[in-house]
Amino acid sequence: MYEQILLATDGEVASDRAVDHAIDLAAQHGATLHVLFVVDSDVYDAYSGDEYVDEREGPEHGLEEIGADAVAAVVDRADARGVDVEGHVRHGQPAETIVDFAGDEGVDVVVMGTRRRPDEYRSLLGSVTDRVLRLAPMPVTVVKTPVEAEVGA
């Protein structure tokens, strides 16, 4: 049923259960698992560039390292399960980049994690997961993080 699965991750606690689910799904279907971290261009575009961070200009470098580490951790876990896996770090607006990547790669299903947020947060900022659900033409599986996992984070 599934040949190409996309796990969009931000490397946070909300992604942990989604990682397990995506790896299990890929193993069950013999599918290729694509692991994607999006470096949010809105974050580094807002940076003034007046000072250097870690001998490089701007926060983009730090975000790329976080993304590479998050993707590598999932790739290692999938490899250990014998899953065909590819890691990717892209730049852009997260929801749009996830949906575009899924379309370009012929992804059959997108897997994402989510966690509970205050109503004020959601009404002001929304969520990447909510936006992907609205934009994606393919199925999107949302894996919720239990409250107790959030508290322990």
Per-residue pLDDT tens over the stretch 53-72: 555 555 677 789 999 999 99
Those residues whose C-beta lies under 8 Å from the C-beta of residue 38, and which sit 6 or more positions away, are: 8, 67, 89, 90, 91, 92, 93, 94, 97, 98
Instruction: State the average pLDDT over residues 109-130.
Output: 71
Distance between CA atoms of residues 9 and 23, nearest Å: 13
pTM for the full predicted model: 0.83
Q: Is the pLDDT of residue 152 over 80?
A: no
Task: Supply the CATH number for residue 81's domain.
Answer: 3.40.50.620
Question: Which residues form the domain of 135?
Answer: 4-152
Sort strands 56-57 and 52-53 into parallel, antiparallel or unpaired. antiparallel
Radius of gyration of the chain (CA): 16
Count: domains in the chain: 1
